[in-house]
A and B are shown apart, each in its own frame.
Chain A
Amino acid sequence: MEGSTDMGGTFTLDGAAIPFADGQTILQAAHAAGVYIPHLCFHPDFAPHGSCKVCTVSVNGRETASCTMRAADGMVVESDTETINAQRRALVQMLFVEGNHFCPSCEKSGRCRLQATAYDLGMVSTHYEHFFPDRPVDASHPDLLLDVNRCILCSLCVRASRDVDRKSVFALSGRGARTRLTVNSASGRLGDTDVTVGDRAVQVCPVGVILRKGVGFARPIGEREYDVRPISATGGEA
């Protein structure tokens, strides 16, 4: 069973040979080789989560999340195919309709990985019916704004706060379609937690949920990193 990944080796990704080191996942090895695989909940600094499924690839003919699947010698991996990109597009559309994403009025526009990934995958509409969830904005913190309307439940802030900041300020609560981001205070308000602007958790949000107050639009929309070039050309790392 497992254990077959003990040593490094080579697998093919869309026909190209990709070397990997012991313990590397497909996504890690691809990125190390300079090949971009779309992803949202993965971040190189944190333990892989495998929940957004945008990094899904086909391994020996079977779909699996490349951020959690360890590379093995001789694997045949397909990623940049029309079928898989269509699936990824559908996942991004699902994330758009699940929350309330209004890019034109969002401070994160041009730096948002959801938006950039959608553009990069050629998404031209949200396709599915919108859920229009009722999610209040939390402006209780003096330095931070929490707008969970844009949350894609990637849990990067959860992992950063728990594993790096050692504060566990953020967590996922609820179940199924009612899963939501919550914060560590009896009132449920961010202002009553011990989060600070210096926390890793507040810097890692791929979308516009956790925003610093007072510095919005310092760099105009239109000149931001993903406005200038697509996310696939950045190597995918923010």
Chain B
Amino acid sequence: MRSASLASHAAYLDPILDRFDADPLNLLQILRQAQEHYGYIHPDAVDYLCARLRVPRTKIEGVASFYAFLHLRPHGRYRILFSDNVTDHMLGSGALMQRLCRDLWTRPGRVSQDGLVSIGRTSCTGMCDQGPAMLVNERAVTRLTPARIDAIGALVRARAPLSDWPAEYFEVSSIIHLRGPLLGDPPAPGAAVAAAFARGADAVLAQAEAAALAQVDAAGLRGRGGAGFATAAKWKACRDAPGDARYVVCNADEGEPGTFKDRVLLTERFDLVLDGMTVCAYVVGARQGFIYLRGEYRYLLDALEAKLQARRDAGLLGPHAGGPDGFEFDVRIHVGAGAYVCGEESALLESLEGKRGTPRNRPPFPVTHGYRGRPTVVNNVETFACAARIALDGVDAFRARGTEQSSGTKLLSIAGDCRRPGVYEVAFGTTIAEVLEFAGARDTQAVQVGGPAGMCLSTLEFGRRIGFEDVPTAGAFTIFDHRRDMFEVARNYVRFFAHESCGFCTPCRVGTTLLRNLMDKLHQGRGSPYDFGEIQQLNGLLQSLSHCGLGHSACNPVLDTIERFRPAYERRLVNREFVPAFDLDRALEPARAMTGRDDAGAHLGTLDDESD
């Protein structure tokens, strides 16, 4: 019986294992594809993979349980996850989820009793300009309305395969309102690589590489992922580090809530990004590149693979890679599985190596000890596109836009309360007010720039400028008008960090949950000045003790909103010195759920009222 079962798993697992050389380094990719068969990773499949990959079961379970989109137990034939970003909520996501639950007779966070469907929430899916959005079996569904929700409920009940669902449900648009060099007329594929090679054509090869590097340096290109590290310095450190192999990795794990410009860049200017990666590979001496594509963008995979193949066919990837003899470079796409922390470059590398996405101890840094311990450049999608533009247009053209310290343009993902959400390519140095004007925002109360980990700005600060020297951003630009409660915005962001904490270090694992519980307590109207002090103390601990940027920035939304929108908090501090965290009535919730009772007699507070 059991061997029969194992044989049936071998039938679909063997081709997957062959595709990935039965190499544990590809474990995450293997598990992703293995899951596609049953919608979860069957226990017998785990047995089979242990044997074939020669890894302990704990390794497979440890990896599978780390990523939100992988399941070791049945999780429904339809796995529906509503995007939990604050913009989705502003567009009515909460009521839509309740509606679908009602339509399907189920509740959030559980699998329906017939095993047909599970409904839950997931972190921002990057569809903020066309939300509210959801994922169904990891496929993005945009522009949800009550009518669309009811139709989806009917399709699920009818057990209709996703291929039979109306195609427009899965339509993802590239909404671009302002174009600059990156999103302007696309150059021919390989043109930037050819330009970089041509620049050094007269010289010997080593000098050509140096010329390409010098150009990136002179252009003052800084990383577009948010931190703004000098790109040339990174490339040079990688080139100069000892190692028998070097790697170029494109970080397309665009997970910061409110960001979606990399989705547009990958969709519309994939060749520009690949040109940038190829120039980088040429400079540092890499033969292998990776694109780490976030699981939420899995729907792009087939089209991107086709474009990679087209480049191979055109001689732009593989042997020669559009350049001189002796230079070869190819790129593989690695798909993530729902873990925001993998946007952190060392966690990304762990994930790329088929492990749990836990940030590494640094130093050493990835430029010297990256993928498989070899020197590795990890750059944002947009950074590579910029590098390609620099090779094409030259230093002066690149520096013609932006500021002294922040040269070039920046893609902004604009969403929230405005008339024209979408992607905008603006020059660095543009003010917040100018961006709001472009987007058609009115009556704006606040802007969250750079997502939850970034900065929250109030009207007094709309004269500030986008740029590394003033308001740095990875790209998210979320607008809130005066109807919005900024405490609830911060609470949404705090819940995001608690959900995405990797759990490695104590302060972040426990602290983000404590912070979330405190914000929930204030939300429930049970806050006191004591809790306010507690929040500030936790903020301090997270900032100074956490292992990586996730923990460091988990308190930013709270600190920023306390500073700027204090009344939103003070309104929630009931006039007492202390309210205990433990709420006896709330603790009875499991008992109410088990007995199916929710009448007055099942609540403590109500009984008190009666006895008064």
Residues of chain A touching chain B, judged by Cβ–Cβ distance below 8 Å, are 1-2, 48, 50-54, 56, 63, 65, 68, 70, 87, 90-91, 94-95, 97-98, 128-129, 131, 152-153, 167-179, 182-186
User: Does B368 lie at the interface of the complex (its beta carbon under 8 Å from any beta carbon of A)?
Assistant: yes
A-B complex: 6 closest residue pairs judged by Cβ atoms: A171-B58, A179-B503, A129-B581, A94-B510, A168-B56, A2-B363
B129-137, B421-429, B436-444, B540-548 - interface stretch: B540-548
Task: Tell me, in angstroms, the Cα distance from A105 to B582 when the chains sit together.
Answer: 24
Q: How far is the CA of A182 from the CA of B513 in the complex (A)?
A: 22
Q: Please judge, given known A-B contacts A2-B363, A175-B65, A182-B58, whether A153 and B544 are in contact too, CB under 8 Å.
A: no
Complex interface: chain A residues within 8 A of B46 (CB) = 186
Q: Is B23 an interface residue (CB 8 A)?
A: no
CB distance from B533 to the nearest CB of A (A): 12
Name the A residues within 8 Å of B506 (CB-CB): 51-54, 91, 94-95, 152
Which chain A positions have C-beta within 8 A of B43? 186
User: Which of B56, B498, B505 interacts with A177 by CB under 8 Å?
Assistant: B498
* Known interface pairs A2-B364, A129-B581, A168-B59; A176-B47 also in contact (CB < 8 Å): no
Q: Is the CB of A51 within 8 A of B368?
A: no
Closest beta carbon of chain A to B453's beta carbon, Å: 16
A94-B58 contact in complex given A2-B363, A175-B339, A175-B502, C-beta closer than 8 Å: no
Q: Is B165 an interface residue (CB 8 A)?
A: no
Q: How large is the interface on B (under 10, 10 to 19, 20 to 34, 35 or more residues)?
A: 35 or more
Interface contact A175-B58, CB-CB below 8 Å: no
- Is B157 in contact with chain A by the CB < 8 A criterion? no
14 residue pairs of the A-B complex, CB under 8 angstroms, read A1-B368, A51-B547, A53-B547, A56-B544, A91-B545, A98-B510, A128-B510, A174-B66, A175-B66, A175-B67, A175-B339, A175-B356, A177-B503, A186-B47
DSSP class of B's interface residues: helix, strand, loop or mixed?
helix
User: Considering residues B504, B510, B513, B537, which has the most beta carbons from chain A within 10 angstroms of its beta carbon?
Assistant: B510
Assuming the contacts A87-B541, A87-B544, asked whether A177 and B58 have C-beta atoms less than 8 A apart, the reply is: no
Report which B residues bind A (CB closer than 8 A): 43, 46-47, 56-59, 61-62, 65-68, 237, 339, 356, 361, 363-365, 368, 498-507, 509-514, 517, 537, 541, 544-547, 581-582
CB distance from B366 to the nearest CB of A (A): 11
CB distance from B469 to the nearest CB of A (A): 22
Given contacts A1-B365, A48-B361, A68-B361, contact A178 B503 (CB under 8 A): yes
A186/B57 in contact, CB under 8 A? yes
Q: A171-B61, A175-B339 are in contact. Are A63 and B545 (CB under 8 A)?
A: yes
CB distance from A116 to the nearest CB of B (A): 17
New A-B contacts (20) at CB < 8 Å, excluding given A1-B365, A2-B365, A171-B62:
A1-B363, A51-B506, A51-B547, A52-B506, A56-B545, A65-B361, A87-B541, A91-B506, A91-B507, A94-B507, A98-B510, A131-B513, A175-B356, A175-B502, A176-B499, A176-B500, A177-B498, A178-B503, A179-B503, A184-B56
A48, B57: Cα distance in complex, Å: 24
Distance between Cα atoms of A98 and B517 in the complex (Å): 13
Q: What is the distance, in angstroms, from B242's C-beta to the closest C-beta of chain A?
A: 11
CB-based nearest B residue for A96: B510
Q: A185 to chain B: which residues have CB within 8 Å?
A: 57
Contact A63 B544 (CB under 8 A): yes
Does A87 lie within 8 Å of B545, measured CB to CB?
A: yes
* Contact (A172, B62) CB under 8 Å given A2-B364, A52-B506, A177-B503: yes
Query: Are A177 and B501 interface neighbours, CB within 8 A?
Result: yes
Contacts of B56 in A (CB 8 A): 167-168, 171, 184
* Nearest-Cβ distance from residue A164 to partner chain B, whole angstroms: 15
Nearest chain A residue, comparing its CB with the CB of B516? A177
Cβ–Cβ < 8 Å partners of A70 in chain B: 363
What residues of B have a CB within 8 angstroms of the CB of A91 in the complex?
A: 506-507, 541, 545
Compute how far the CA of A167 lies from the CA of B57 in the bound complex, rounded to whole angstroms. Answer: 11
Contact of B514 among A94, A167, A183 (CB under 8 A): A94
Contact status B237-A1, CB under 8 Å:
yes
CA distance A176 to B46 in the complex (A): 23
Q: How many whole Å from A125's CB to the nearest CB in chain B? A: 13
